[in-house]
Structure 1
Amino acid sequence: MDLRIQKTKNSIFSAFIELRAAKPLEKITIRELTQKANISKQTFYLHFKDIYDLSEYLENDAITSLVADIPNPDLIITDPAAAARLLCTAFITQGHLFNILFPDDDRSCGVLTNKLEARIKELIFITHPEFKDNLEKNITISLLIQGSVHTFLKYKEEDTEQVIEILADTIGRIADHS
C-alpha cells in the first residue's frame, strides 16, 4: 500500500479512536473526524462510506487481531478449557481497543460475540468442513465462544486470573459431560 494512503488511514483511525473513546458512535460527525485527522471530507469518503463503515472496518480488524492471538481455533473442539483461557488472554492483550470499539452495553457485546463467533467458525470450517452443516458442532462452538466471551466481559473487573480459571474449569467440566 502507498505510504501516503497508509498515513491517511492511520490518521483517520487515530482520530476515530480518540473520538469514539469520548462519545457514542452516533454522536461522531464526519466534520469533527476530518478536522481531528487533518484531512478533507473528500479524502475521508475516498476510503469509507460513512462513520459506520469506518467503525465496521475497525471492529473487523480488531476481531482479526484477537483471533490471530489464538494459535489454534480447533482447540474450541478439542480442548474447550484451553480455548477459553486463550480467548480471555487475547481479550486482555487487546483490551483497550476493544473497550473503545465495543463499550459495555448489550448491543456492543452482541456485535462483538457474533463477529468473533463467525470469524472463529470460518477458521474451524477450513480445517473441518464437515462441521459446517453439523448442528451439534455448531451449537457447541457457539455456546463455547458466546458463553466464554460474554462471561469474561461480564466479570472482567474482578480478579482476571481467577475469572479465567473458573471459566475454563467450568467449560472443561461441561465439555467432559457432553
Structure 2
Amino acid sequence: MDIRIEKTEKAIKNAFLELRAKKPLEKITVKELCALACINKSTFYSHYEDIFALSELMEAETITAVVKNISAQQQDPFREPEIFTRNLYMALLSSNSLIGILFSGKEKARLGDCLEMELKKLIWQRYPEYQHDTERNILLSFCIQGCFHAYLNHRDEDLDAVVRVSENVVRNLRPLYFRE
C-alpha cells in the first residue's frame, strides 16, 4: 500500500477513535472527522462510504485481532476449554482500549454477537460436525457469551477471580462438549 494511503487511513482511524471516545457513533459527522484528520471530505469518501462503514471496518478488525490472538495461543483450543477461556479473556484485554471505544453505548451488545459468530466459524473449521449440533451450539453460545458478559461487567474488578470462576464453569460443562 502506498505510504500516503497508509498515513491517510491512520489519520482517519485515529480521528474516528478520538471522536468515538467522546460521543455516540450516530453523533459523529464526516465534517468533524475530516477537520480532525486534516483531510477533505472527498478523501474520506474515497476510503469509506460513511461513518458507519468506517466503524464496521474497525469493529471487524478488532474482532479479527481478538480471534487471531485466541487461536494463536493454542494448537487445539477446543479440547482444553478452560485454557481457551483464559485465552479469550487475555485476547479481550489486549484490545481493551479499542473495545471500550468502538463497542460503547448501543454497540456494546454487537461485540458479543460478532465475537460468538467468528469464534464459532473457527470452531466449525476444526470441528465441522459441531455446526449442525444444536446442543453443542447452545453450549458454545452459553460459554462465549457468558465469558464475554463476565468480562464486560467485571473488567474493572479482580480479573483473576473472573477468569477463575469462568474457567470452573467451562470446565464443568466440558463433558457435554466432548461426549462421544
Give me the TM-score of the superposition, normalised by structure 1: 0.91
Give me the TM-score of the superposition, normalised by structure 2: 0.90
Unaligned runs of 5+ in 1: none
Q: Which amino acid aligns with 2:57?
A: Y
Distance in 1 (alpha carbons) for counterparts of 2:76 and 2:147: 15
With over 3 angstroms needed to count, the CA separation of the structure-2 counterparts of 1:17 and 1:41, relative to structure 1, is same
How far is 1:81 from its partner? 1.4
Say how many residue pairs are matched: 175
How far is 1:144 from its partner? 1.2
With over 3 angstroms needed to count, the CA separation of the structure-2 counterparts of 1:137 and 1:143, relative to structure 1, is same
The answer to whether the 8 A contact 2:17-2:101 is kept is yes
Distance in 1 (alpha carbons) for counterparts of 2:75 and 2:26: 34
The answer to whether the 8 A contact 2:136-2:176 is kept is no
Distance in 2 (alpha carbons) for counterparts of 1:90 and 1:26: 28
Aligned to 1:37: 37
With over 3 angstroms needed to count, the CA separation of the structure-2 counterparts of 1:150 and 1:51, relative to structure 1, is same
With over 3 angstroms needed to count, the CA separation of the structure-2 counterparts of 1:73 and 1:99, relative to structure 1, is farther
The answer to whether the 8 A contact 1:81-1:172 is kept is yes
Q: Percent identity?
A: 39
How far is 1:108 from its partner? 2.6
CA deviation digits over 1:52-111, x for unaligned, max 9?
Answer: 110000000000111111124852x322211111111111111111111112x4x43320
Distance in 2 (alpha carbons) for counterparts of 1:43 and 1:101: 22
Aligned to 1:129: 128
The answer to whether the 8 A contact 1:73-1:124 is kept is no
How far is 1:146 from its partner? 0.8
Q: Which amino acid aligns with 2:81?
A: P
How far is 1:170 from its partner? 2.0
Aligned to 2:151: 152
SS at match of 2:39: coil
RMSD over aligned Cα atoms: 1.7
Distance in 2 (alpha carbons) for counterparts of 1:69 and 1:32: 33
Q: Aligned runs of 1:89-104 on 2, under 5 Å? A: 89-103=90-104
The answer to whether the 8 A contact 1:80-1:175 is kept is yes
Unaligned runs of 5+ in 2: none
